[in-house]
């Protein structure tokens, strides 16, 4: 045996899970969150701006309530398809390339919407736009969840979702600012140009998930680059052996099948996560799509209606921020109280004889509860599933949720077409928070049982155990 052979050392084994769990908030993670925040901001703007453009479409194209409901719903249906399709692509080819493709696609389809000549063209283009929009958020959640310690996951997802909400918040004022002077088309042009400008930034700066690459046993040089950025001095290299210790090897080797989301206790998790999401999405999309028109019909001006909806979105964001640290500690049970309070408030909105200021105040309150619930749901969507199926799990959850998102705008359109007083639609919506509250209670009980059986990884990690060991 030669001296060189005797002195050669085997490659270091680096436990990816521990490097990620032990990190402090650093520049790498902050940059990732900011990039994700930017793309979800534009996603939220594009998804929700259609409700603010709707009054101009009603004036310009003569669109009635049913055709507007179809326009709202077709975009959400497209998002449902996109969430499933892009989730599968993200688990197959990686989070990074599919996120960038999604952003480019909804930028291009946003520009195309500005060229629509009638409602039929708008329907087709909004469907394609929805497919692109629906694929982004589950992948953004998965990418961030896989780079931050478990103790910060719900908080980071909530912060990212602030981008989505604030995108919806500014959609109203920007529409009111641009559309009267330059036409409703200008709103989509501005959005499309801003979105496409972000693509080269993502190509240059967005990383691929180190955990995902390690599970899939791909690109060790990219894993090493990311882990060295997270933990300077780690000394990872392409020759290192990267291990993810909190996911079993058989799971790493499987190709995704839908049944994997229902194996073991994931059956309860997936079922009630979907039900909670359906209830939450019905409430959110009903109010976001029909809110501006309903408020205008009950006596508010168009500008006032836009500002009420924007302020309601801010209230939902604040409610989501208020609950995020409790969600990190206590899981789904911390979110349950929001929908339990929202139901009675919606009944009051729909059935009581209220002044316009009182109706605006109750709208802020109910949207805070509904928005806080939806924020919490987003922070849960990717937490229960392992890395190999995380994007699929979150993608299916958000896509199944679109059942409620598709149904709510259509129901609103048909009810308004029957000449039902617009305000009473809020009372009909009161059942949806109850569905979310019951489902979140079941998820919370399951989460507590899992925590008793298996403590959160990293919370009890021995301090002396090294993140890098040679074998």
Residues 84 and 212: their CA atoms lie apart, in Å, by 18
Name the CATH superfamily housing domain 12-458.
Answer: MFS general substrate transporter like domains (1.20.1250.20)
Contact 387, 460 (CB under 8 A): no
Q: What is the pLDDT of residues 327-350, one digit of tens each?
A: 767 778 888 889 988 888 888 888
d(C-alpha 210, C-alpha 277), whole Å = 29
235's torsion region: left (phi>0), alpha (psi -120 to 50) or beta?
left
pLDDT digits (tens, 9 = 90+) for 181-191: 999 999 999 99
Domain ranges of the chain: 12-458
| Distance of alpha carbon 388 from alpha carbon 211, whole angstroms | 9
Q: What is the pTM of this model?
A: 0.68
Give pLDDT, residue 122. Answer: 92
* Averaged pLDDT for residues 98-113: 94
Q: Which of 376, 382, 379 lies closest to 394, judged by CA?
A: 382
**CA dist 220 to 208, 236, 429, 446, Å?**
11, 9, 50, 36
Question: Do the Cβ atoms of 118 and 61 come closer than 8 Å?
Answer: yes
Task: Report d(CA 135, CA 145) in Å as an integer.
Answer: 16
Q: What is the pLDDT of residue 201?
A: 96
The pLDDT confidence band at residue 247, using thresholds 50, 70 and 90, is low
Compute the half-sphere exposure of residue 466: CA atoms within 13 Å on the CB side of its CA.
10
| pLDDT reading at 192 higher than 90 | yes
């Amino acid at each position: 045996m030669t001296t060189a052979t005797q002195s050669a050392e085997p490659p270091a084994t680096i436990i990816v899970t521990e490097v990620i769990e032990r990190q402090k908030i650093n520049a790498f993670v902050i940059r990732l969150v900011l990039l994700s925040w930017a793309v979800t901001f534009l996603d939220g703007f594009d998804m929700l701006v259609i409700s603010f453009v709707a009054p101009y479409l009603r004036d310009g194209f003569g669109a009635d309530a049913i055709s507007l409901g179809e326009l709202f719903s077709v975009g959400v249906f497209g998002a449902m398809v996109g969430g499933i399709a892009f989730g599968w692509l993200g688990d197959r080819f990686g989070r990074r390339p599919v996120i960038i493709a999604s952003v480019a696609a909804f930028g291009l389809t946003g520009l195309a919407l500005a060229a629509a000549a009638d409602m039929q063209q708008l329907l087709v283009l909004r469907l394609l736009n929805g497919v692109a929009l629906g694929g982004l958020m589950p992948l953004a959640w998965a990418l961030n969840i896989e780079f931050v310690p478990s103790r910060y996951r719900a908080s980071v997802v909530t912060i990212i979702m602030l981008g989505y909400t604030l995108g919806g918040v500014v959609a109203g004022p920007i529409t009111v600012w641009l559309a009267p002077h330059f036409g409703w088309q200008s709103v989509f042009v501005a959005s499309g140009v801003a979105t496409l400008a972000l693509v080269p930034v993502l190509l240059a700066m967005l990383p691929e998930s180190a955990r995902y690459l390690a599970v899939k046993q791909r690109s060790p040089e990219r894993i090493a680059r990311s882990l060295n950025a997270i933990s300077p001095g780690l000394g990872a290299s392409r020759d290192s052996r990267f291990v993810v210790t909190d996911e079993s090897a058989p799971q790493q080797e499987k190709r995704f099948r839908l049944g994997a989301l229902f194996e073991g206790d994931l059956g309860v998790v997936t079922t009630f996560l979907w039900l909670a999401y359906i209830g939450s999405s019905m409430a959110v999309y009903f109010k976001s799509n029909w809110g501006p028109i309903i408020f205008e019909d009950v006596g508010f001006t168009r500008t006032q209606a836009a500002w009420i909806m924007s302020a309601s979105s801010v209230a939902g964001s604040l409610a989501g921020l208020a609950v995020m640290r409790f969600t990190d500690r206590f899981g789904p049970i911390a979110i349950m109280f929001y929908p339990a309070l929202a139901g009675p408030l919606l009944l009051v909105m729909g059935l009581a004889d209220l002044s316009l200021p009182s109706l605006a105040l109750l709208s802020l309150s109910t949207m805070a509860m509904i928005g806080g619930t939806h924020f919490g749901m987003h922070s849960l969507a990717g937490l229960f599933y392992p890395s190999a199926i995380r994007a699929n799990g979150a993608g299916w959850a958000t896509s199944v949720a679109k059942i409620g998102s598709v149904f709510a705008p259509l129901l609103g359109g048909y009810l308004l077409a029957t000449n039902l007083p617009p305000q009473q639609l809020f009372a009909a919506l009161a059942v949806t928070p109850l569905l979310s509250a019951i489902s979140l209670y079941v998820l919370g009980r399951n989460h507590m049982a899992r925590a008793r059986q298996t403590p959160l990884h990293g919370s009890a990690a021995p301090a002396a155990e090294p993140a890098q060991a040679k074998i």
